[in-house]
Amino acid sequence: MASADGGESRELAPIGGRGIVIPEEWGLDIPIVGVSTSIDIRTESGKLRLFKVLQGKGKDIKEAINLVIDVADFVITPAGRVDPETGELQKWPRTLLVSPDGDFYHCGSRGIIKSLILISQLVATAPWIPPLKLRVNAENIEGGKQWYTLELTELPKGKKK
For the full predicted model, state whether its pTM sits above 0.85. Answer: no
Q: In whole numbers, what is the pLDDT of the chain averaged over residues? A: 81
Specify whether the CB–CB gap between 135 and 66 falls below 8 A. Answer: yes
Dihedral sign, Cα of residue 110, residue 112, residue 113, residue 114 = positive
Q: What is the pLDDT of residues 84-104, one digit of tens each?
A: 888 888 888 899 999 999 999
Pairing of strands 132-141, 59-60: unpaired
List all residues 6 or more positions away from 92 whose beta carbon is below 8 Å from its beta carbon: 26, 79, 80, 108, 110
27-85: pLDDT as tens digits:
554 434 578 889 988 899 998 999 999 999 999 999 999 999 999 999 998 888 788 88
Q: What angle do CA 121, 142, 110 make, to 5 degrees?
A: 20
Q: CA angle at residue 90 from 85 to 95, to 5 degrees?
A: 135
